[in-house]
Chains A and B, each alone.
Chain A
């Protein structure tokens, strides 16, 4: 459990060394020991040996009160920190368990993660119960509704695929509102029927209490299902239906729950109250959405001005969404609706305003918060499962389970029959089955039942037991079997790929075609309204909410994002791009050198990976309020520009048929910048100014070719290898061109590439001959020693085609 899997730690945060993990684990173990020891110590205070064992010099808290106060060299005051300490340990334990869980890669695909969390909770509950801990930190209503619930909902709302959601909005809404009502009332009433049978001893449960119970047990938990769905890539239609349903369903459930709870607390209920309740239901929902949308726009507007203070960008996202939640709660509106609406509204605009880094931060932080919340809820659940607060009643528990399943299945079936009439693509029977079967109950269900006021609900313990059984059944049995079922039923999958530029283009194109056709046939449909909104959006909203000089089209921004992502990935892993590329190592191929063996390749890659960019990281200075010089972003930009050049270069080649030898496409490409390399002055200046996609340095006419060689640190290792294998080493260098202005594309291509086949004539002249590069001379070695300081890369200008070697006379030396 202590081992840290490198793939797990690939987040952009600093990598937690295994040693630190070990230390943490040890601390956790020690603390657990201390806690237990203290528990025993409390039960037998005079036992001095236990105290000695627990904390060395630490006097027990009970003892210290009697003693005269002396200055202690070392004291242990566990109660002071107990709650945060234990909660930290829980989260830590659960996270470590997650690491362990994912170590074996097949496990997560079989068992949903919520199973693991519940198990950890059970384990902890067992420990606490065994240690007879008096006061395990427990959840209360405020903690849950104000702190634990918002992150979960925010996460779901923010990552909701908006477009799909709105395409299926009707169905989702139908399932969520009507379906939840159906389930709540159905389960409530039929349970009430069961309660009337006096043999079961449940006659004291009233109809309202049953309805309340029904409403809380119909909260479907997205997390468990989605994990499974994402894992097996069900088709996006099904995915969004289940996702959207479970999200909205939470809101409905909470509203219903509060409604019934206040009914339960009332002495008498008049007809007016019922109507007031129904009206309340709508006001609560719609009011919440309005607050959310409003604050979402404000948030987007705020981020428009944050470009000077990037560090706090993510903060706005969280503050505004939390504010929307709290505000809605203040007016007794649905906070869940508010935060969802807020997240969905702002996400599109914020994403374009904030920097790439802030965006990543937002993403990770949101995921982290929600997983912490969820973990805590599950652990609370585990902890309270083991204990004495249960009341087992076979009839109630098993009928609850039965009704949950039946009403869900019936509900989905009946509602689908109705909604299918209105859907262009009807839901098949398989889809319906999966939707019904995917109704796992989870954290929210449990929290709601746990928070029932015992004064009003004398049988609260029975409710808790029933809910826990339902959750366990659905999470463990349905959660584990849903995957094989999807496979068995052969539900249509989506073959999800990474978002690609061409896909985005196609989709956009497609939208326009559809809207156009709708216009032609004079039909105002889905696409029509989307189009209208888009126009409105482009005309007013975007202008207002998004900073100037941003790429204004989603294709452009996607392209930019992809490029940067790609670049970063390459920099991180020294990856070989699969994209056929022109970065020409063709001369190297002409030299009839044997292709590298895979292991050699691996070595090279490792070397490259390890030597990339480290110097910059090291020199970074710490400042709490800003990150030094956005190093990564700059690197990304450099690489990005390089990549774009290479890309176009090869395109031009592929395009010009006159060429004999097009892009040396099958050459492997290491697109990366060696450490210690600086871009030539001119380029660096340009990098600063060019942040847009559009102006990607095409203005420069001198077509300078820069060859960067990945020589420095790797040199020694390379040489060692070479000596071992007595084989010439390949050159690893990157060549890239400032291309001729893009407007000349057509003509320029021919001109430029015509010289290609003869490397000695064209200006693709390698800087170094291969032999030179392969054998590291003494000069190279000395260069190696010098290379602790940054060294500018050699730069080749057009005249280099005369065969001049300029490698060691870099022109514009920055130093």
Chain B
């Protein structure tokens, strides 16, 4: 498939694959991916991976602890390895607790964080997109937040629509229907700021 040699703001968004329209999590993932694409490729924001990296880091530490326990027990068979095993098992379950807290309080359904560097030289704005969809429900809530710097007041707008608004009967995601909704939220936030 031919691709443009130089990346530019209006990079062609790859059409999303067909999903099983009855599979709630696949549908939500498909919508989230498309929204991320719109923010990064259409609007030209830079994606910030800190949130995802944090989760990857916690998981890596947990797996490393488990591997350490395995290795130690292999080298020093059971009763000698008891104290190290006790330490590793406790540490592992602590990391699981940390991961749960992290996912619940820091991530909160946020699936994309992007930074917009104003060419006019103003402070870079941080945009966060988060979504929520109840199990077995068809209502998809997309929230878009924008704030400048750290600890600045953030503005949030959201829309709640049935996923049926964006998918056809085959399970294809219709970007033409999703894009205007997302851009509307974006414009809402940017124009709202100018009012102040």
The yes or no verdict on A and B being binding partners is: no
